[in-house]
Structure 1
Amino acid sequence: MLPPKDLKSIIYKAKLPEMVVAWMFWCVALSVALIALFTDGVVETSGISLIMFVFGLFFSYKSYKLATKNLDKNISYGRLESIVTNLEDAVIAYDNNFKILLFNSSAERIFKLTKPQVVGQIIGPERASEPTLRLLTQTLFPSLAPAVVTQSEPDQFPQIVDITFTNPQKEIRVSTDRIIDKDGVLLGFVKVVKDRTREIQLIKSKSDFISVAAHQLRTPLTAINWTLEGLSRNEKLNEADRTLAQNGFTAATNLLKTVNDLLNTTEIEEGRFGYEHKTMDFIKFIEEILANAQVVAKKYGLKLYFDKGGYEKLEVNIDASKLGIALSNLLDNGMKYNSKEGSVTVALRPVKDKPYVQVSVKDTGVGISPSEIENIFGKFFRASNARKIKADGSGLGLYITKNIIEQHGGSIWVESTLGRGTTFYFTLPTDPNLIPKAEMRFI
């Protein structure tokens, strides 16, 4: 005997609309059987009844399976609808004609619209002129929005953009993906919209605090730096006093670098680092950076080398000040964490079949642990062996370097062998059209 739970399930499914065909067959079969009892030709009628009985069983089985399948689909859809409805992020789905198919409760909250106002409506670009639909239309068509920052590669899905609205003040991140059936036919699109207004306000408040504090520190630190540098060179002081002044100068210099790193990081993340690209000879640019680094190299007893890779002259479009920070950071790391009588080599190589030049900065130092390499460009990250060698440091240098390289249209990566050395590679485009036109924001 079936358990009560299974029996209830069968009875419930037997009442579903998909079972109508099966019940119709059974009604017809029963009618034929009754006729056979009161008419001649019992044998023929019985044969027909048998055939209809077999078909009835077949259709009952098929109808029951279909009812079960559709019931499971409806349950799954109901669960999915419940999840989508209760998501904190807005979800908007529309077909190829921009007819809105789905508009969840979070979308109602963010766009100040109700589902009946939107679902079934075709929202084209021209509807941006309607005050109630302006925000929604600009979200569906980001090119109409006042300020947009693309966070994904072109023609790559999901497409991710950050949109800033001024009236009302709102910050959203929009992720757009395609709706494709099992045959690969495009049915429409779905957008997931995250309201980041409060999040951005909090991050901006923190950034403003860091920026103000760093600015307030930088002016007196610069004055202290100059004073201590002057004292460390004053021959009227005895050796002990000059050594004390030199130690103070070194500490003030390190602190000033940390302050500058904090300011640079804040400006980079807010997209206001202020790049000014100019075409210049990249060979001379690197030679000047290396000349400035010679003082530190001598202090550590290191050799600096420049492998031009066959280039006599190489014109690139760069912001010399910003890229100087990036290259100096790589050289600084290569010298600080090197071995005695080691070396740092800067090398240039063309990138095959692409309008890029590859720059490498190779040292003979302590290397980086394989488990830490993936975090090396993270904000405030310092490798464990680097912290043992040099306790102070902000952990911002490589984070800043990575963002500067990417803002020049290049990419950066690292290869390292623990105990044998590290090589940082980065690329720069030789075609100025490959340089991003606007600064990226990271908040």
Structure 2
Amino acid sequence: MALQTSEAAILNSSLDPIVVIDKQRAIVLFNPAAEQAFAITAEDVLGRSVEEIFVSPALSQALNGTETASLVEWTTEAGMTFASRLSPVLDVGGLPNGHLLIFHDISAHKEQSQNLRTFVGTLAHDLRSPLTYMQGFASMISMVGTLNEKQKGYQDKIIGGVGQMADLVEKVLDIRKLDPDGNYRLHREPCDVVHMVSEVVSNHVSAAEKKGQKLISDVDQHLPILALDETMLRRALQNLVDNAIKYTPENGTITVAAKTNKDNNTLVLSVKDTGYGISPENQKKLFAQFQRIRRREHFQVKGSGLGLYIVKAVASRHGGSAWVESEEGKGSTFFISLPLEGANLVGAEAQK
């Protein structure tokens, strides 16, 4: 791919690193900003395959396409972080003639984001103890003497409000742990999934009964002992059950299931409700941070919009996935699928 002098001059004057790639995936331009960012000269890379210089499966896959693609972030030896975008270059006939690989320095943004995460995490951690004290002392008020109906109502509001704050604090701390840029490592230990699911269901029976709901457990009693981060997986399942109770109308039914899928060798946890259902449009953004469904039936439901983000992050950290299947007016089923390969080795040892 031949570049005109004026085109090369414009690309070379850009403050963003730019690499021009021909149809054979060879580098034909490596601008000064790229030389400075990656500490390599144009002379050293011109004519070489871009996949040799920038090793990434995502880049190789994108080079086969004909649309602009956002790629992975790149961190240089100097500690700078760049976002990258690959755009096709078309000839006068509209046919692919190469690609532009453009980098944008996001180092400052990454640092600011990290500082904000640290601040929020520290704040949430420091709130933990005071909230625990408040919740405990509020529960002890009735020990002073019999409360009248009005006083009991005030006490319930205090306990409920503090409980919501404590739940939000725990979610913020979970997100800090599970953030892609965080350094949290899963604590995989032998996990009795049958027992864990049973406990989660038992802990939510009271909340379901207050709304006249049926909370049903449908668990394969022969599930093996698995190597999982039980604390985080339990938190994810609790989030799903909490949501099901909150968003299912009175007298509805919620079913919590745990089974193995032999076709793809996975453990599948699911929470099915008879709620209002979710539109396809809302399903696409449901697992993002701070996303909540806006509809009339949910106006009185309180929530942070963080629970499903945590569910997906926990599944992802285990090498699995999370998704929802739903139809408006017919309820929803949320799934967590985790690979058994590797994890079921504990089960094999335990059953010997």
TM-score range (shorter-chain normalised) is 0.7 to 0.9
Matched, 1:216 2:126: yes
CA shift, 1:292, in A, is 1.4
Which residue of structure 1 aligns with residue 251 of structure 2?
341
Deviation (angstroms), 1:420? 2.8
**Which whole-Å CA distance do the structure 1 matches of 2:129 and 2:189 have between them?**
29
Structure 1, unaligned runs of 5 or more = 1-72, 125-136, 143-149, 180-186, 435-443
TM-fit CA distance, 1:352: 4.8
1:263 to 167, 173, 187: 173
Residues 330-354 of structure 1 deviation map (CA, whole Å, 9 limit, x = unaligned): 1001001112111110223433521
SS at match of 2:122: helix
Q: Does 1:304 align with 2:209?
A: no
Deviations 1:229-255 (A, max 9, x none): 222x53713133232112101001101
Q: CA deviation at 1:316?
A: 2.7
Q: Does the 8 Å CA contact 1:317/1:430 hold for their aligned counterparts? A: no
**Structure with bigger gyration radius:** 1
Counting only pairs closer than 5 Å after superposition, residues 41-80 of structure 1 correspond to structure 2 as: none
What residue identity is the alignment partner of 1:105?
P
CA contact 2:228–2:343 (8 Å) conserved in 1: no
Residues 141 and 385 (structure 1), Cα distance of their counterparts in 2 relative to 1, 3 Å cut: closer
TM-score (norm 1): 0.64
Aligned to 2:18: 91
Which one of the candidate residues 278, 285, 288 is aligned to 2:189? 278
Asked if the contact 2:75/2:81 (under 8 Å) is kept, the reply is: yes
Alignment of 1:153-192 (within 5 A): 156-157=61-62, 160-165=71-76, 168-173=78-83, 192=102
Taking the aligned partners of 2:188 and 2:10, their CA distance within structure 1 comes to 48
Displacement of 1:199 in angstroms is 1.4
Tell whether the 8 Å contact from 2:191 to 2:226 is kept in structure 1 after alignment.
yes
- Contact kept in structure 2, 1:361 and 1:423, CA below 8 Å: yes
Aligned to 1:405: 315
In the alignment, structure 1 residue 353 sits paired with structure 2 residue 263: yes
Matched residues in 1 for 2:145 and 2:215: separation? Answer: 35
Task: Find the partner of 1:237 among 132, 142, 146.
Answer: 146
Which AA in structure 1 matches 2:292? R
1:423 has 2:312 as partner: no
Query: TM-score, normalized by length of structure 2?
Result: 0.78
Aligned length: 330
Secondary structure of 1:293's aligned partner: helix
Q: 1:285-316 CA distances to partner (integer Å, 9 max, x unpaired)?
A: 211211111222222222111222x5523333
Decide which of 182, 201, 204 is 1:290's aligned counterpart.
201
SS at match of 2:292: coil
Distance 2:137 2:33 in 1: 59
User: In 2 relative to 1, CA 79–298 (structure 1 residues): closer, same or farther, beyond 3 Å?
Assistant: farther
The within-5 A match list for 1:3-152 is: 81=8, 84-85=11-12, 89-92=16-19, 101-112=28-39, 115=42, 117-120=43-46, 140=54
**Which is helix-richer, 1 or 2?**
1
- 3-state DSSP of counterpart to 1:432: coil
Q: Secondary structure at the match of 1:374?
A: helix
CA contact (8 A) 1:307 1:347 kept: yes
Contact 1:172 1:194 in 2 (8 A): yes
* Per-residue deviation, 1:218: 2.4
Alignment partner of 1:200 is 2:127: no
Alpha-carbon distance in structure 1 between the residues aligned to 2:165 and 2:297: 16
Distance 2:226 2:32 in 1: 51
Deviations 1:60-89 (A, max 9, x none): xxxxxxxxxxxxx96x75676456445554
Asked if the contact 2:223–2:260 (Cα under 8 Å) also holds between the matched residues in 1, the reply is no
Is the CA contact (8 Å cut-off) linking 2:247 and 2:301 kept in structure 1? no
Query: Hey, what's the Cα distance between the residues in 1 that align with 2:343 and 2:248?
Result: 37
In structure 2, the CA distance between the partners of 1:368 and 1:386, relative to structure 1 (3 Å rule), is farther
Residues 84 and 104 of structure 2 are in contact (CA less than 8 Å); yes or no, is this contact kept in structure 1?
yes
CA distance in 2, matches of 1:385, 1:327: 24
Structure-2 separation of matches of 1:418 and 1:225: 38
Structure 1 pair 88–374 and aligned structure 2 pair: CA distance change class (3 A): farther
Q: Distance in 2 between matches of 1:259 and 1:211?
A: 9
Does the CA-based 8 Å contact 2:84-2:102 persist in structure 1?
Answer: yes
Q: Does 1:315 align with 2:225?
A: yes
Structure 2: tracts of 5 or more residues without a match: 64-69, 90-96, 345-352
